Amino acid sequence: MQAAGKRQKRTISGWLVLDKPYDMTSTQAVGKVRWLFAAAKAGHAGTLDPLATGILPIALGEATKAVPHVQDGRKVYRFEVRWGSTTSTDDAEGEVVAVSDRRPAEAEILAALPQFTGTIEQVPPTFSAIKVGGERAYDLARAGEAVELKPREIAIDSLGLVAHDVETSTFEVTCGKGTYVRALARDLAERLGTRGHVARLHRAAVGDFHDADAVRLADLEAMSPAERDAVLKPVAAGLGTLCEVRVRGEQATTLRNGNPVLLTGGGAPVALDAAWASFAGEVVATGSVVRGQFVPRRVFNL
């Protein structure tokens, strides 16, 4: 018998593009959204620091199966660097650990930016979720242990200066998975012969989800249940980076049973490394096309 006052969970699926508020963890944001929708299952596509705001795609139900595809999408960040000090966390939350009187000129900054585009190596911040010997780096750092992280290759499509004054500069970066904006600010400051940390950070896009799609948590809380459901984006909205392959009803049933289907017709693809199969506008499966057959890797029950 169900306990008194316990909410009934719903098998609801879709994407909620949240404008995550300042000073809230991604896990807290997911928990709040899951509660508001009374969703049986929820997850997020890419952690956003507590002090950051902006796009946090939250997957409900079957959309959680598409999370890896959204996480692999390009990200756009707008961030403000405060010159003259490095902090333990490379953002405004940490303690100042080094200072410099030098303030870079706009021309110097513009000249340095091309060195931080393309495929570059980056050492993640000490305070990060990367595991070292089975432990999170930030847990080791908080415990006072020395943490050495290896450089990793990251891809930065573009990095531009948006605004500049003596003490701060604002940038916009478009980058790939695994890029740490805090490390980018740290390294840029060092290249310019000074110190710096991220004072403000806003994520403006993740894959196909942008600021224009985002819903504020306060607005979500003020909505009725029906209004909340109406702002959800379909599960397919998280698969924009993949090719869509339309299948017939009987093929959809076969795919949902985990079996491949032969694609027919003049425009049927012969080979695709990654694709998603659809029927009547709904996601059936993600997978690949091999020798004219759609081979499912993950099936969706919508």
- Exactly one of 19, 23, 49, 139 is catalytic; which is it? 49
Judged by DSSP in three states, 188 sits in: helix
Report the Cα 76 to chain-centroid distance in Å: 10
Find, among 93, 13, 107, the residue nearest to 51 by Cα: 93
Q: How far apart are CA 44 and CA 68, in angstroms?
A: 10
Look up 187 and say whether it is catalytic.
Answer: no
* CA distances in angstroms from 254 to 20, 277, 295, listed in the order given: 39, 12, 11
Find, among 205, 73, 185, 171, the residue nearest to 125 by Cα: 185
Q: How far apart are CA 131 and CA 168, in angstroms?
A: 32
What are the contacts of 184-189 at 24+ separation with CB within 8 A? Answer: 184/116, 184/122, 184/156, 184/159, 185/79, 185/81, 185/90, 186/86, 186/90, 186/125, 187/116, 187/122, 188/81, 188/109, 188/112, 188/113, 188/116, 189/81, 189/83, 189/86, 189/104
> 26, 44 in Cβ contact below 8 A?
yes
Which residues are part of the catalytic machinery?
49
